[in-house]
Amino acid sequence: MEEKREMSNQRLKAGVRRIRERKAFILFPVLYVALMIAVMFMLRILLQKMGEPYSGKIFEIALYVFIAEMIFAGLLGIIQMLGKPFGAQRIEGELLDVGFTDSEGESPMLISRTRDKNGYILEFYSQRIPFVRYEDHIAEIETALNIKIVDVLPGRDKQHTIIKAVNGNGGKKNMIMWSDEKLSADDFVLVLGESYFGIESIDISTTPHVLIGGGSGSGKSKLLKLLLMEARKKNAVIYLSDFKGGVDYPAIWHKACHIITEPEELDKQLARILQIMEERKLLLVDAGTPNISEYNKKTGSDLSRIIVACDEIAEVLDKTGLDKDQKALIGQIESKFSTIARLGRAFGIHLMFATQRPDADVLKGQIKNNIGYRICGRADKVLSQIILDNSEGAEKISPNDQGMFLTNTGVLFKGYYVEDECLEGVDYDGETGD
């Protein structure tokens, strides 16, 4: 009995929330009250016409009490009805059919079902079904409701659970083509792709460095190209290390970026970038500004952001089989990367790395720990653990799904597919922006 009362209260609370969120729903209780008041006056007139004893005070008081009780009970019923989402009975029944129930054989109660762009957000309530059971029975829930679960989140207490999902047949297209209309107007916000709940992007002015990991053919190089193309269109200066023979970056990229193919050249350019960082530090101190964005606003300057990118960082930092001098050179490069990772944000200097194997022998902890935004494409559990510090990349991305990625913030998205021709007319001018 107590549980039934609590479930009724949950419906009531959900109805109140729905009225607050969608003000138009207040019309239902208002119209009901108005109707009942009208009924009251009609009954009063009727009783007066019937004469004594029906027109007396006792009948009038009894009428008012009756109408008041009807109004109160009816309002509760209407609000509870608003707290029961469309299709709740069907959804709860389908969960019951597949055995997703509590110890008493009751399925969780659907509190709310809202649409969020491409997907749905379902909120469930149960006193006896813990959050972990939802996580452990994702497959059964997906089958029962014909949905694809994107994420399962704990609600406002241990009795509420939120499921983000799309229709079972409503997954992302095999390919979502990039167009320049998608380029963000916000200062250094770079668009990544589309999640089930909207556009996914990163603001490198606040999250300055990016690590993209994934197995061969996962689409990580395409995603890196997308970010670099957007950055270049926003007038960033790009230094791109490509030690794979240049097969992934045709001539159009050489016109738009500074392409580096040898470790010696990379070390030289990194030394120059660190010099620029020191110069910018003095400029910011003199201007009394904390970062490059505020400096440009205050002084009217146009210092460009600098992107240092590596497509397959393992090819750059792996010391396996190198002689003493070569190892020393890689050590210098590694040290410079580490300095940029720690200090680059305020001065508009950013790292973007892509790799298949970001293990400790390749990407030292000091560098990796200072890369706040990590993205994992199709991967095994080991690679996912290295990139995201969990195995969700392997669990949530199908082995056959190219171009799908999971961020370390838990967002699953399909990356935009960018053609090299998108860089047409964007030429590298050889300047650093200073």
**How high is the pLDDT of residue 305?**
96
Tell which wins on pLDDT, 65 or 348.
348
With a cut of 90, say whether residue 359 has pLDDT above it.
Answer: no
The secondary element (H helix, E strand) that includes residue 62 is helix 57-82
- Rounded to an integer, the average pLDDT of 113-137 is 82
| Contacts (Cβ under 8 Å, ≥6 apart) of 182 | 191, 199, 416
Signed CA dihedral, 205, 408, 212, 221: sign only? negative
**pLDDT in the model for residue 79:** 65
Q: How many CA atoms lie within 13 A of 160 on its CB side?
A: 15
Mean pLDDT lowest among 42-46, 380-384, 427-431: 427-431
What pLDDT is recorded for position 56?
62
Neighbours of 270 (CB within 10 A): 22
| Residue 179 parent element (H or E) | none
Residue 350 vs residue 365, higher pLDDT: 350
Kindly state the helix (H) or strand (E) to which residue 310 belongs, with its residue range: strand 306-311
| Model confidence at 430: pLDDT above 60 | no
User: Is 361's pLDDT higher than 80?
Assistant: no
User: Does residue 223 have a pLDDT over 80?
Assistant: yes
- Residue 64 CA to residue 416 CA, distance in Å, equals 65
Give the mean pLDDT of 383-410: 84
Name the most confidently modeled range: 34-38, 171-175, 346-350, 390-394: 346-350
pLDDT of residue 374: 93
Residue 97: the pLDDT is 83
Average pLDDT across the chain, whole number: 82
Q: Does the pLDDT of residue 212 top 90, yes or no?
A: yes
Q: Taking the domains of the chain in order of start, what are their residue ranges?
A: 2-82, 88-167, 176-423
- In angstroms and rounded to an integer, the radius of gyration of the C-alpha atoms of the chain is 30
Positive or negative, the CA dihedral 72, 78, 82, 87 is: positive
pLDDT of 113 higher than 90: no
pLDDT over 80 at 4, yes or no? no
- Across the beta sheet with 109-116, the strand order is 109-116, 119-125, 160-167, 147-154
- In the predicted model, is pLDDT for residue 255 greater than 90? no
The model's pLDDT over 154-166, given as tens digits with 9 standing for 90+, comes to 988 888 899 888 7
Instruction: Please check whether residue 304 is in contact with residue 237, taking contact to mean a CB–CB distance below 8 angstroms.
Output: yes
Two tokens at 378?
Answer: 């199709």
The amino acid at residue 215 is G
User: Contact at 8 Å (CB) between 337 and 270?
Assistant: yes
> Which has the minimum average pLDDT: 200-204, 307-311, 361-365?
361-365
53-88 confidence digits (pLDDT tens): 655 666 667 767 777 777 777 766 666 666 567 778
Q: Region 87-107: what's the mean pLDDT?
A: 84
The CATH number of domain 176-423, selected from 2.60.40.3880, 3.40.50.300, 3.40.1190.20, 3.40.630.30? 3.40.50.300
As a whole number of angstroms, the distance between CA 432 and CA 434 comes to 6
Please tell me the predicted confidence (pLDDT) of residue 184. 93
| pLDDT for the residue 155 | 86
Q: CA–CA separation, 192 vs 327, rounded Å? A: 35
- Under the banding of pLDDT at 50, 70 and 90, the label for residue 266 is very high
Confidence (pLDDT) at 1: 53
Cα distances (Å, whole numbers) of residue 373 to 203, 226, 291, 334, 357: 10, 16, 19, 19, 17
* pLDDT tens-digit readout, 134-189: 888 887 888 788 777 888 889 888 888 998 887 655 445 567 889 899 999 988 89
**Does pLDDT of 338 surpass 90?**
yes
| CATH number belonging to domain 88-167 | 3.30.980.10
What is the reported pLDDT for 306?
97
Q: How confident is the model at residue 47 (pLDDT cuts 50, 70, 90)?
A: low
Question: Among 54-58, 207-211, 283-287, 305-309, where is mean pLDDT lowest?
Answer: 54-58
Task: Please report the pLDDT score of residue 234 as a whole number.
Answer: 93
Q: What is the amino acid identity at position 358?
A: P
